[in-house]
Amino acid sequence: DGGITQSPKYLFRKEGQNVTLSCEQNLNHDAMYWYRQDPGQGLRLIYYSQIVNDFQKGDIAEGYSVSREKKESFPLTVTSAQKNPTAFYLCASSPDGYNEQFFGPGTRLTVL
């Protein structure tokens, strides 16, 4: 079955530690995205990538980093520089960056 997978579903980390969230898609989509969602809020774009080896900052990129070495994979690293990292992180992909985005199940990160 085609889709987007994110792992793990729940993640706990101590303050000051970097953590990497996984996002894999087998939909052969060119565009991939990372969003952050806080309780009762909409989605805020962290980073997006239109093609392998290229990515752009979104509205809240500070304290985060990404890589796009393979078409299928777009991992997000939450660094210790991110002031308030506890949130629900959603990865999405799109065939060509237009219109419909397909989302993974999300990773809920809690920093203690």
Contact residues: another protein, CB under 8 A: 31, 40-45, 48, 50, 58, 90, 94, 97-106
Picking from 43, 49, 86, 85, the residue whose alpha carbon sits closest to that of residue 64 is 85
- Min. distance of Cβ 80 from another protein in angstroms? 27
Nearer to another protein, 11 or 43 (CB): 43
As measured in angstroms, the least distance from the Cβ of 21 to another protein is: 14
Question: Is the Cβ of residue 5 or residue 18 nearer to another protein in the bound state?
Answer: 5
Using CA atoms, how far apart are residues 93 and 104, in angstroms rounded to an integer? 9
DSSP 69: S
Backbone angles phi, psi at 87, to 5 degrees: -175, 175
45 vs 52, beta carbon nearer another protein: 45
The minimum distance between CB 65 and another protein, in angstroms, equals: 19
Comparing CB distances to another protein, the nearer of 48 and 74 is 48
Print burial letters for 75-110: b (CB count within 10 Å at least 16), e (below 16): bbebeeebeebebebbbbbbeebeeebeebebbebe
Q: How far is the CB of 76 from another protein (least distance, A)?
A: 15
